[in-house]
Structure 1
Amino acid sequence: MPAIPAEDLLRELTPQVLGALVRRFGHFATAEDAVQEALIAAAERWPRDGVPDDPRAWLITVASRRLTDLLRRDQARARREETVARWMLPEQWLAPAADRLQDADDTLILLFLCCHPALTPASQIALTLRAVGGLSTAEVARAFLVPEATMTRRISRGKQRIRDSGLRFAPPTAAERADRVAAVLHVLYLVFTEGYARTAGPGLLRTDLTAEAIRLTRLVRRLLPEDPEVAGLLALMLLTDARAPARTGPHGELVPMAEQDRSRWRADQIAEGVALVSAALPRGPVGPYQLQAAIAAVHDEAPTAAATDWAQITALYEILLGLSDNPVVALNHAVAVAMSRGASAGLALLAELADDARLADDPRLPAARAHLWELTGARVAAREAYRMAAARSTNLAQQRYLNARADRLADDPPVAG
C-alpha cells in the first residue's frame, strides 16, 4: 500500500490529536494552539527525518509538551500544573493503530463542539475547517475571501465563546443529539455549497472546499453509519460534485446543466451517491438531505437533459417543501413545475416569491424568471431579468454568464413560431 502523503496524513490526524488533548486537559483554545505548533514542527521535520513509525503518538507528544508550556504560563496555573505534572505519556496514547475507537469518538465530539449552537454560523464554519479540517487560518481566510486578520479574529471569538460559555468536551445529551448532528451537517453543507458555487470571486468552483466537505462528511458517516441524513448529505455532495468537470468551459465560463457534456460527469461518484441514497431512504424518517440527494440522482441518471424525469423531481420538491419553509426550495420547485407542466405554471409560482424578503438580493430569482420568460418567447422581459440577476451576483463567472445570456437575447433574432 503506498504511503499517505505527509500533508494528507497531518490533515487526517489533526482532529484525533486535538480531540485527545482537549479530552485530557480541556482548554480548547490552548490545545488548538499547541496542536498547530506540533503540525508546524511535523511539516518541518518529517520531510527531513522521515515520518515516525507512529505519527499520531509523535504529534500528541509534541503537542502535549507545548500545551504544558502554555498552561504553565497561565496566571491561574497552579492546579493545572499539578495535573500536568502527574500526567505521563501513557500507554493508551501509544496504543496499537487498530485500537482507534476513542479517536473516532473524540473527532465526533470535536465536530459537535465546533458546531455548537452557542456559536455563530461563521464561527462554526471557521472552527470546523481549522480544528477538524486541519486548514490553516490563512487557508480558511482564502476560502471565504476575507483577510487573514479578519479570519483570525473570527476564530479567536469562537474559541473565546467556547471558553466563556463553559462548553464541555463531551458528547451531547440524548435530548441534544439530534439538533447537534443537524448543526454539524448544516455546517458541512455550507462549506460544500461555498465550494461548488462560491458567493464571490473570479471563479465558480473552489475544489479544495468541496473536497474538504466531502472528506469530513465521509468521516461523520463512518462515525454515525446508521444515520440516514448523514448518508443523504454525503450522497448529495457526491452526486452534485460529480458534475463539476463539465460545469465550466475551457476559460472558466459557467456551463448550465442542460448544456453540459454528461460523458465528463464522474460515474463512480454517481454510482456511490445513488447507492447511498437508495439505501438511506427506506431506513427511517426522510429528511431534506435525502430528498435533495434523490433529486440530484434523478438529474445524474438522465442520459440527456431532455430525458430528465421532471415530474419525479417536481414531486420530490413538493415533499421537500412540506418539511421546511425554504424560499430556495420553493424557487427550484417552480422551475421543476415549469419543466414538467409548462413555463407559465412555473412563472405563476415565481410571482408568489417576488415579495419574499429572503430573496430580495438573491440573483437566483431573477435568473429563474429570465430563463422561463425566455422559454415563453418574452425576450425583452427575459433580457431585463438576466441583467438584474447579473447585477445581484457577486461571482464574476456567474455575472459573465448572465450578461452573456442577456446579450444573446439582444443580438439574436426571434425564432419564428
Structure 2
Amino acid sequence: MTPPSVDEAITRAHQDEWARVVAGLARRFGDLGIAEDAAAEAFLTAVERWPRDGVPPNPGAWLTTTATRKAIDRLRRESRRDDKHLAADMLRDDTPHEPTGPVEDDRLRLIFVCCHPVLPTEARVALTLRLLGGLTVAEIARAFLVPETTVAQRITRAKAKLTASEIPFTVPREDDIRERLAGVLAVILLIFNEGYLATAGDDPLRTELIDEAIRLGRLLRALLPDEGEVAGFLALMLLTDARRPARVSRTGELVTLDEQDRGSWNRPMIVEGHALVRERIATGEPPGRYQLLAAINAVHTDARSAADTDWSQIVTLYDRLTIADDSPIVRLNRAVAVAEVDGPDVALAEVERLGDHLEGYHAFHAARADLLRRIGRSDDSRAAYERAIQLAGNPAERAYLTRRLGQLGATSA
C-alpha cells in the first residue's frame, strides 16, 4: 500500500505543477493534445515510481523532464509527423527557447492562446480550465451549471478546432491581448471561484487555485497597468480572498459574511484592494463589470460589522452592474442586498422570477430558503434548503445548509 506521505506528495504535485507542465509542453511542441497526454503520462509514471524510488527533491522538474521525454517518444513513434519530430529534437533543454514577447509567463501565455477568437467563449473557458486550472470535467460542469457531457464535448471540439484551423502556439500580439482579455479574465475568475468555494471533493477551499488565480491577476496587472477592468479584477479577488481566514469554521462549516470574525480578515489584502478601487474611481472613467464587483466588495470589507454595512450603496452598485451584466446570478445577488433594504418579501418576489434560469443552482435555493424562513414560511423554506443541500457540492456549504435546515425544527402538522 502506498505510504500516505507519497500520496500527499503526488496530490500536491498535481495541484502545483500540472499547469506548469502542460503550459511548458504546449509552448515547446505547439500541440495541446501532446501536451496534455504527455503530462498525464508523467503523473502516471510518478504514481508508479515514487512509492518505490521515493519523492524526488524537485517534483516539478522531475515531472517536466519526464513529460518532455514522453512527448518526444510519442513524436518519434509517429512517423507521419516528421516536422514535429524534428522540432522535438531541436527543443531539448540545451536549446534556447523562442522569444516570449509581451507575455513571458508560460501559463498566462497559454491562457491567451486558448482564448483564440476562433473558439466560442464557452469552449475557451472550458479548455483553459482543464489545461491550466487542472479542473476535472465534473468541476467545470458545476462551474458552468451544465451537464458533464456538454463540457467534455466543448473541450474535445475546442482541441479539434485549434488543430483543424492550424492555429500556431505563438506569442500573442499586443492586439491579441486586448481582443482576448475578456475571455482571459473569465477563465481566471472561474479558477479563483473554484478555489474559493470548491464544487467537489473533501476540501472546502483549494488554496492552490486561489493563489494561482491571484498570481495570474498580478501578471495581467503588470502587463496592462492602465486597463481599468484588470485593476478591478485584481481588486475583486484580493477583497474576496481577504475573508478566507474566516470563511470556514474549525468544524468545517461555511461561515456566512454576517457571522464572520472580521478581525481575522487579511488587512494588507483589504488595503491593497481598496487602493485599486480608489485608483479607478479617481480616473472618472465609467466602471466596468469587475470594477463594480470590486466596489461592492469594498463596501462589505469597509464595514466594521455586518450591522454597519451600507446596503443601500450595495444595491445602487448592483443597479449599475445590471446594466453591464444583467445575468440571473447578478440579479440573485442584488435581491439578497434588496432584502436588507426593502425587506425579505420584496426580495423574495425578485428571487422567484429567477427560478426558470437558476433551478440547478444551489445558491438560488439557499437564498430562497433564507428569505422564506425570514417571512415565516417554514415548510417552503425546508423544501428549499433540502434542494440546496442536494445540489451543493462543497462540504462546508452542505454543513452550513444542514444546520440551518435543522434549526427550522420538525415538519409542521
Question: TM-score by structure 1 length?
Answer: 0.73
Partner of 2:112: 112
Q: Cα deviation per residue 1:266-293 (whole Å; 9 max; x = unaligned)?
A: 2222122222222234444421111111
How many Å separate the matches in 2 of 1:86 and 1:262? 55
Contact 1:364–1:389 under 8 Å retained in 2: no
Q: Cα deviation per residue 1:201-257 (whole Å; 9 max; x = unaligned)?
A: 555433333333223333333333332222222221221122222222222122221
Q: Cα deviation per residue 1:171-220 (whole Å; 9 max; x = unaligned)?
A: 55777644521111112212222232334555543333333322333333
How many Å separate the matches in 1 of 2:208 and 2:214? 10
Q: Cα deviation per residue 1:69-126 (whole Å; 9 max; x = unaligned)?
A: 4323223233444556677766644x9xxx9767616544311223346557776556
Q: How do 1:200-349 residues align onto structure 2 when only pairs under 5 Å count?
A: 200=200, 204-283=204-283, 284-349=285-350
User: 1:267/1:170 Cα in 2 relative to 1: closer, same or farther (>3 Å)?
Assistant: same
Larger radius of gyration: 1
Q: How do 1:133-152 residues align onto structure 2 when only pairs under 5 Å count?
A: 135=134, 140=136
Partner of 1:367: 366
Contact 2:373–2:381 under 8 Å retained in 1: no
Secondary structure of the equivalent of 1:295?
helix
Q: Which moved more, 1:28-37 or 1:401-410?
A: 28-37
Residue number among 374, 383, 391 corresponding to 2:387 in the alignment: 391
Please tell me whether residue 190 in structure 1 is matched to residue 194 in structure 2: no
Contact 2:113–2:172 under 8 Å retained in 1: no
How many Å separate the matches in 2 of 1:59 and 1:200? 26
Q: Cα deviation per residue 1:319-346 (whole Å; 9 max; x = unaligned)?
A: 0011122112112212222212333443
How many Å separate the matches in 1 of 2:287 and 2:255? 32
Contact 2:25–2:68 under 8 Å retained in 1: yes
Contact 2:16–2:208 under 8 Å retained in 1: no
Residue number among 27, 30, 52 corresponding to 2:31 in the alignment: 27
How many Å separate the matches in 2 of 1:293 and 1:387? 34
Contact 1:19–1:103 under 8 Å retained in 2: no
Contact 2:372–2:380 under 8 Å retained in 1: no
Partner of 2:407: 408
Q: Structure 2 unaligned segments of length 5 or more: list them.
A: 1-8, 143-149
Q: Which moved more, 1:283-292 or 1:104-113?
A: 104-113
Q: Give the Å deviation of 1:40.
A: 8.7
User: 1:36/1:406 Cα in 2 relative to 1: closer, same or farther (>3 Å)?
Assistant: closer
Secondary structure of the equivalent of 1:104?
coil
How many Å separate the matches in 1 of 2:361 and 2:136? 24
Contact 1:274–1:297 under 8 Å retained in 2: yes
Contact 1:236–1:296 under 8 Å retained in 2: yes
Partner of 1:414: none
User: 1:129/1:366 Cα in 2 relative to 1: closer, same or farther (>3 Å)?
Assistant: closer
User: 1:48/1:174 Cα in 2 relative to 1: closer, same or farther (>3 Å)?
Assistant: closer
Q: Which amino acid aligns with 1:385?
A: S
Q: Which moved more, 1:358-367 or 1:35-44?
A: 35-44
Q: Which amino acid aligns with 1:404?
A: R
Please tell me whether residue 72 in structure 1 is matched to residue 76 in structure 2: yes
User: 1:405/1:163 Cα in 2 relative to 1: closer, same or farther (>3 Å)?
Assistant: same
Contact 2:122–2:154 under 8 Å retained in 1: yes
Contact 1:387–1:403 under 8 Å retained in 2: no
Q: Which moved more, 1:9-18 or 1:184-193?
A: 9-18
How many Å separate the matches in 1 of 2:116 and 2:39? 21
User: 1:259/1:242 Cα in 2 relative to 1: closer, same or farther (>3 Å)?
Assistant: same
Q: Give the Å deviation of 1:12.
A: 8.1
Contact 2:15–2:208 under 8 Å retained in 1: no
Contact 1:387–1:402 under 8 Å retained in 2: no
Secondary structure of the equivalent of 2:294?
helix
> Over aligned residue pairs, what C-alpha RMSD do you find?
4.5
User: 1:310/1:85 Cα in 2 relative to 1: closer, same or farther (>3 Å)?
Assistant: closer
Q: Which amino acid aligns with 1:295?
A: I
Q: Which amino acid aligns with 1:328?
A: I
How many Å separate the matches in 2 of 1:339 and 1:27? 52
Partner of 2:4: none
Secondary structure of the equivalent of 1:316?
helix
How many Å separate the matches in 2 of 1:242 and 1:66? 41
Q: Give the Å deviation of 1:306.
A: 0.4
Contact 1:239–1:293 under 8 Å retained in 2: yes
Q: Give the Å deviation of 1:32.
A: 4.7
